[in-house]
Structure 1
Amino acid sequence: MTPEILARIATARAARDLSDLARLVLADTAATTSSAQRIEKARRLRQVANQVVDLVVLAEALGGASWEEITKALGRRDSGTVEREFAKDVAEWGSTPEGELERAAEGHEALDEWYARHREDQDPELPTPVADLLNRH
């Protein structure tokens, strides 16, 4: 287990949460929910979406992507600023002991099960994307 793989698993968990939250926001479309409640759910959706982006950046940085490439993909201009924004997280995740990485990845099978339940015809035909990640490295 590497810090990069753990960051990818964390990304998968956040993406699952984002999808679940999006369905809740959609369900509130015609519900007799207050404006404040709808706005709060939408705001939470945005927070989780930002978390997904941050986790993808973290995984790519841990995997060796250049800060120039990451900066360009983020639509930003200054790679030094982007690198400084993520430096602490990259250092912390990069120095995580092996045993802690293994414990943090526990329960990853549930992500594959979630994907199988929610997969639609146009989605990639990967029955176990998280297990495939673990087997690939």
Structure 2
Amino acid sequence: MTPEILARITAARAARDLSDLARQAVATTAQPAGTAERIEQARRLRKLAGDVVDLIAFAEALGGASWEEIATALGRRDPDTVEREFTEDVAEWGAKSEAELERAAEGFEDLDAWYARHREDQDPERGTPVADLLNRH
């Protein structure tokens, strides 16, 4: 287990949570709700989507991508600013022991099961996308 793999698992968990929250938003479309409640629900979606982007960028940094490449992909101009935003987390995760990484990744199989339950015909045919990540490295 590497810090990059753990970051990718963490990003997959956040993407799953975002998908679940978006499905709940669709399900409540016709329910009576106040302006503040509907906007708050949308803000939660936006926040979680931002978290997914940050986690993916973080995983790319842990995988060795350059800050210039990450900044460009994020639509940002200053790679140094992007690097400063992630430096502390990259160092912290990079210092984790193998045992800490393994413990943090526990339950990753649930992501594969979630994907299998929610997969639609247009989605990639991947039986075990997270397990495949672990087997690849």
Q: TM tier, shorter chain?
A: over 0.9
Name the aligned partner's letter for residue 108 of structure 1: F
The RMSD of aligned alpha carbons is 0.7
Trace 1:1-137 onto structure 2 (pairs within 5 A). Answer: 1-137=1-137
1:52-89 per-position Cα deviation (integer Å, ceiling 9, x unaligned): 00100110000000011001000110101110111111
Once residues 104 and 78 of structure 2 are traced to their aligned partners in structure 1, the CA distance between those partners, rounded to angstroms, is 32
Displacement of 1:34: 2.1
Displacement of 1:24: 1.2
- Count of residues in Structure 1 that have an aligned counterpart in Structure 2: 137
Runs (5+) with no aligned partner, structure 2: none
Give the SS at the match of 1:64.
Answer: coil
Runs (5+) with no aligned partner, structure 1: none
Give the SS at the match of 1:81.
Answer: helix
Name which of structure 1's ranges 24-33 and 44-53 shifts more when overlaid on structure 2.
24-33
Taking structure 1 as the reference length, what is the TM-score of the superposition? Answer: 0.97
Once residues 103 and 34 of structure 1 are traced to their aligned partners in structure 2, the CA distance between those partners, rounded to angstroms, is 42
Fraction of identical pairs, as percent: 74
